[in-house]
A and B are shown apart, each in its own frame.
Chain A
């Protein structure tokens, strides 16, 4: 546990800056995090660790001159030296026209991000969870690798203008990759959660093992445009790239896929994308301490809103949104099995790997399928197939969708809730030999 509350650390910093430079505006970000983890591969634990650390970020503003320093050393002597260095850097800094006044007191809606049960999950419990996850793989003679990580922390933002917000949190992620010993099959599953009760080790291990066995000895099919069913993790991989383009400044500057698109339909009307701290377990404030109100970015396919920072908002005469890291793509009405119905010949994709933009104007990415790719014939999965590289416009993929799964779920992060989808003309551009 932290020996001092982050808010108190922040107040110590404010007092130090005031002592050396009374006229300075100051924003302090103080966070304590205790991280424990266990890693395993080839069916046994390889490493485990336990560490705690601080991240203390101090921004000093003298008019438009500004500097920021970050440290993890909180003893009085180190802090005093650092504060003096930040002040000196701010004085030496050129004017930063994008500097905004630090925020004063704001109202933040608290949400429950901390679970004592998860915070107390120790090495023994992690090992027991891993053993439960590995059981299906051991009985099927699979080789597994995976990782569990647990955070227990407290984060705060404090300013010289009266801002004081803080939130305790827990966070965990668990993932398993199971592979057949002949190297022809591989399966994966993962979850992210802030609650111990949702950390279902056995379920993650079971799904990974099932996918590994089902994907063994894959057949080769030709690259081409296919109807695909993207499981929620694959949908989330696509969505992440769409979300990075929700930036008002880039749109206003003419370098975005969303130029002149606000108020227009940009993807299929089946999709609504929101950020809501009341529904998604994200922090209720951002790095500057801005409170995060519920937002609807895309409503029934229509682009409604873009993220905008405080400087650009002021320049454009609009309201800033704050910066969000949690998103929910609303569930549809189609049961998972029903997503496959009606597909004459298509592909089921478990997840994507190594995605990267190849063209930001068309919001096109390249990526690879991985850990469970299957042929769909006449509405059912018939056989495993080899992996593909995709080259695909994210907008086109979401626009061509005609069915959305009825569960929006967290996969690799508790902060992203995404359903499975069915879409068409999805380009599986070239074959990958990877399994």
Chain B
């Protein structure tokens, strides 16, 4: 097929010639068996994790999965097969299985899969990083975590600690019968720790976790992020939270720090704007969406709110050069000045709503998984004025300022949500007057976003991340980030999580 010379002219990674033979064999065999389209991914995942519990290391583990997944279209229906045996000889059997499944599905199906046109890219892409975290010795990672633990444990009142550093590699070689050949490598780090304080007499216990996000970046992140330096403050805040008064339920204004708001964006904007959900393709598991196609153009949020999808945001977990349909990634608005304007789509889905091209949201978590629509990084644009978080607090008469992500839950059409957080500060007459505990906030997605009346400026904008966003059957896990400024929301229902009342 002449793929190898094309890739050799691309910049960056160099593919093992053996793998080129494998993908060529898979595609040729699929075409021979009647596939009108086929794509093949050789996919390697590696994850190394070091964990501490209190004053010692309790886990050192290295996980690797490698294999090849083949997806074919025959008579307008999909078939998929996978194997950990990445060899030319195995591709005949794999193509047999995949095309047989596709033919069986085509025999009972009515709707033909139509893929939106897409240029056949030949390219390489990899995470921009300074220090490969897989080359940092386990002992160094353990030493850093034990240093964190020592600082946490020195704080009077901290009873227990835990810490972790996971490093993730995802390498894949994608090829399709359209002529695409794309090699990509993503490196991510998931660091964190948590202090728990236990009250000696009441038996209450409260935890406080580090607010930093997992990112697509090298080891330099841990050297520059203040990971170690923040430990004492995190420990102190766990004790402060334990001894804080419990919140009184009621309607209050909320100032959400980016370290909290990112998760609310994920659930109340990221998932509702997935086209497969909106049309019922996820009804049996993740659910559907209130943001149905007939609501395109209507108000989703207040006019100061613009929410965008972006698989090119530097450092974000879902950032990559090309999706698993071979589509070049991009940035676009989902909600523009309050109005719902676009969905997340794949090549298969674009035509469902009359669009001519995919938004590049196809992803499969490993070689054994079928690619389908997964969430890109979905972020809230910073405000026009460069307001600080302190400015938002100063402008608030009666509210609660929440930092860090806690418990989360949202209904299967993404209306009713409820979140907690890590720290809660009561705001009165423009000033923080003291900490609170047991705070939860509950709202309805459109109501909540329409209540947003103040946005922090670009200086407050930062990323938060989820490594394990679940969707699909069989369930697949996706890493995704959400950037946002601090923001204020008016009149949100606050509950006491320990004392459940109406």
Could you tell me which A residues sit within 8 Å of B by CB distance? 35, 37, 39, 41-42, 44-54, 66-74, 82, 85-86, 89-90, 92-98, 123-124, 127, 131, 143, 145-147, 149, 175-177, 179, 186, 188, 223-224, 253-255, 259, 353-362, 364, 366-368, 370, 387, 389, 391-393, 427, 429-435
* A residues less than 8 Å from B414 (CB atoms): 434
Q: Do residues A124 and B67 form an inter-chain contact, with CB atoms below 8 A?
A: no
Query: Chain B nearest CB: distance from A357 CB in Å?
Result: 6
Q: A145-B284, A429-B502 are in contact. Are A72 and B67 (CB under 8 A)?
A: yes
Q: Is A93 in contact with B57, judged by CB distance below 8 angstroms?
A: yes
- What are 14 pairs between A and B in contact, CB < 8 Å? A37-B474, A42-B281, A45-B108, A48-B79, A50-B80, A51-B83, A70-B63, A71-B64, A71-B65, A131-B108, A255-B159, A364-B500, A387-B411, A433-B415
Interface residues of B in 76-95 (CB under 8 A from A): 77-84
Question: What 8 new A-B contacts, CB under 8 Å, besides A42-B279, A92-B139, A433-B415?
Answer: A41-B283, A48-B105, A49-B370, A50-B98, A96-B57, A255-B205, A353-B412, A430-B416
- Is B478 interfacial (CB 8 A cutoff)? no
Min CB distance B416 to A, Å, is 4
Q: Is the CB of B500 within 8 A of A393?
A: yes
Partner of B83, one of A52, A254, A435: A52
Q: How far is the CA of A370 from the CA of B283 in the complex (A)?
A: 11
The verdict on A92 contacting B138 (CB below 8 Å), with A48-B101, A72-B65, A427-B502 known, is yes
B64: nearest chain-A partner, CB-CB: A71
Residues of A within 8 A of B77 (CB): 45
Other-chain contact of A358, B62, B159, B497 (Cβ < 8 Å): B497
**CB < 8 Å A-B pair total:** 254
- Known contacts: A93-B139, A224-B502, A432-B411. The answer to whether A85 contacts B285 by CB under 8 A is no
Of B57, B283, B444, B474, the contact of A35 (CB 8 Å cutoff): B474
**Complex-state Cα separation, A431 to B61, whole angstroms:** 44
Cross-chain contact B407 with A357 (CB below 8 angstroms): yes
Asked whether A389 and B502 contact (CB < 8 A) given A72-B66, A94-B142, the answer is: no
The answer to whether residues A368 and B409 also contact, given A149-B474, A430-B442 and a CB cut-off of 8 A, is: yes
B137 at the interface (CB under 8 A from A): yes
Q: A157 CA to B105 CA in the complex, in Å? A: 38
Nearest CB on B from A265, distance (A): 18
The answer to whether B81 touches A51, judged by C-beta atoms less than 8 angstroms apart, is: yes
Enumerate B118-140 residues with CB–CB distance to A below 8 Å: 137-139
- Give every chain B residue within 8 A of A92 (Cβ-Cβ): 137-139
User: Which residue of the partner chain, among A50, A66, A355, A429, contacts B500 with CB atoms under 8 Å?
Assistant: A429
A46→B409 contact, CB < 8 A: no
Asked whether B190 is an interface residue with its Cβ less than 8 Å from the other chain, the reply is: no
CB of A241, distance to nearest CB on chain B (Å): 12
Q: Is B413 an interface residue (CB 8 A)?
A: yes
A389 touches B411 (CB 8 A): yes
Whether B408 sits at the interface, judged by CB under 8 Å, is: yes
A50, B81: Cβ atoms closer than 8 Å: yes
Q: B residues bordering A, Cβ < 8 Å?
A: 53, 56-67, 69, 77-84, 97-98, 100-101, 104-105, 108-111, 137-139, 142-143, 146, 159-160, 196, 198, 203-205, 279-285, 287-288, 290, 368, 370, 372, 407-416, 418, 420, 438, 440, 442, 444, 473-474, 493, 495, 497-498, 500-502
Are B416's CB and A368's CB within 8 A?
yes
A149 touches B411 (CB 8 A): no
Q: For residue A85, which residues in chain B have a CB less than 8 angstroms away from its CB?
A: 62
Contact B84 A356 (CB under 8 A): no
Q: Which residues of B contact A53 (CB under 8 A)?
A: 65, 67, 82-84, 368
Give the 9 A-B CB pairs with smallest separation, nearest first.
Answer: A434-B413, A51-B82, A434-B411, A147-B473, A145-B284, A432-B416, A358-B497, A145-B283, A49-B80
Known: A145-B281, A366-B418. A434 touches B409 (CB 8 A): no
- Asked whether A259 and B411 contact (CB < 8 A) given A51-B82, A69-B61, A149-B473, the answer is no
From B290, B407, B420, name the one whose CB has the most chain A CB atoms within 10 angstroms: B407
* A47 to B362 alpha-carbon distance, docked (Å): 14
Chain B residue nearest to A40 in the complex (CB) = B284
A397 CB to nearest B CB, Å: 11
**Are the CB atoms of A255 and B101 closer together than 8 Å?**
no
Bound Cα distance from A215 to B501, whole angstroms: 27
Closest-CB distance, B495 to chain A (whole angstroms): 7
A155 nearest CB across to chain B (Å): 16
Residues of B near A360 (CB, < 8 A) are: 205
What's the Cα separation between A127 and B416 when bound, in Å?
Answer: 36
Contact A94 B139 (CB under 8 A): yes
Cβ A353 vs Cβ B110 within 8 A: no
Give the residue name and chain of the B residue nearest to A42 (CB): B280
Shortest A52–chain B CB gap in Å is 7
Q: How far is the CA of A226 from the CA of B281 in the complex (A)?
A: 34
User: Are B56 and A359 interface neighbours, CB within 8 A?
Assistant: no
User: Main secondary structure on chain A at its contact with chain B?
Assistant: strand
Give chain A nearest CB distance to B71 CB in angstroms: 9
Chain A nearest Cβ from B491, distance in angstroms: 15
Contact A175 B281, beta carbon cutoff 8 Å: no
- Residues from chain B with a CB closer than 8 A to the CB of A431 are 416
A44 to B110, CA, bound (A): 8
Q: How far is the CA of A73 from the CA of B46 in the complex (A)?
A: 13
B281 to chain A: closest residue by CB: A41
Whether B415 lies near A361 (C-beta < 8 A) is no
Shortest CB-to-CB span from A179 to chain B, Å, is 6
Residues of B close to A359: CB separation below 8 A:
438, 497-498
A419 to B326, CA, bound (A): 48
| A133 CB → nearest B CB, Å | 11
Bound Cα distance A52, B63 (Å): 18
Provide the bound-state CA to CA distance between A41 and B278, in Å.
12
Q: Please give me the residue from chain B that is nearest to A82 by CB atom.
A: B64
Partner of B498, one of A50, A176, A254, A364: A364
CB distance from B393 to the nearest CB of A (A): 25
Please give me the residue from chain B that is nearest to A78 by CB atom: B66
CB-defined contacts of B79 to chain A, threshold 8 Å: 48-49
Q: Known: A92-B139, A354-B410, A354-B412. Contact between A47 and B100, CB under 8 A?
A: no
Which of B105, B279, B285 is in CB contact (< 8 Å) with A45? B105
B62's nearest neighbour on chain A, judged by CB, is A69
Q: Which residues of B have CB within 8 Å of A224?
A: 502
> Which residue of the partner chain A has the closest CB to B52?
A94
Q: How far is the CA of A391 from the CA of B502 in the complex (A)?
A: 9
Residue of A nearest to B408 (CB): A356
Q: Which residues of A contact B109 (CB under 8 A)?
A: 44-45
Kindly list chain A residues whose C-beta atoms are within 8 Å of the C-beta of B501: 427
Neighbouring A residues of B139 by C-beta, 8 Å: 92-94
| Docked complex Cα distance between A37 and B369 (Å) | 11
**Residues of chain A contacted by B495 (CB below 8 angstroms):** 391, 429
Closest B residue to A256 by beta carbon equals B205
By CB atoms of chain B within 10 A, which of A47, A253, A364 has the most?
A47
**Assembled-state Cα–Cα distance A366/B159 (Å):** 27
Known contacts A41-B283, A96-B57, A361-B204, A253 near B63 by CB under 8 Å: no
Q: Which residue of A lies closest to B58 (CB)?
A: A98
> Most chain-B CB neighbours within 10 Å: which of A85, A224, A359?
A359
* List of A residues within 8 angstroms of B498 by Cβ: 359, 361-362, 364
CB-defined contacts of A37 to chain B, threshold 8 Å? 473-474
CB distance from B335 to the nearest CB of A (A): 19
B204 to chain A: which residues have CB within 8 Å? 361
**Chain A residues, CB < 8 A from B83:** 51-53
Q: What are the residues of chain B within 8 A of A71 when measuring CB–CB?
A: 63-66
Task: Report whether B160 and A253 are in contact in the complex, using a CB–CB cutoff of 8 Å.
Answer: yes
Partner of A89, one of B138, B370, B438: B138
Chain A residue at smallest Cβ distance from B414: A434
Bound Cα distance from A47 to B205, whole angstroms: 46
Q: Is the CB of B203 within 8 A of A361?
A: yes
Contacting residues, chain B, for A51 (C-beta < 8 A):
69, 80-83, 368
Q: How far is the CA of A93 from the CA of B65 in the complex (A)?
A: 22
CA distance A7 to B386 in the complex (A): 63
CB neighbours of B69 from chain A (8 A): 51
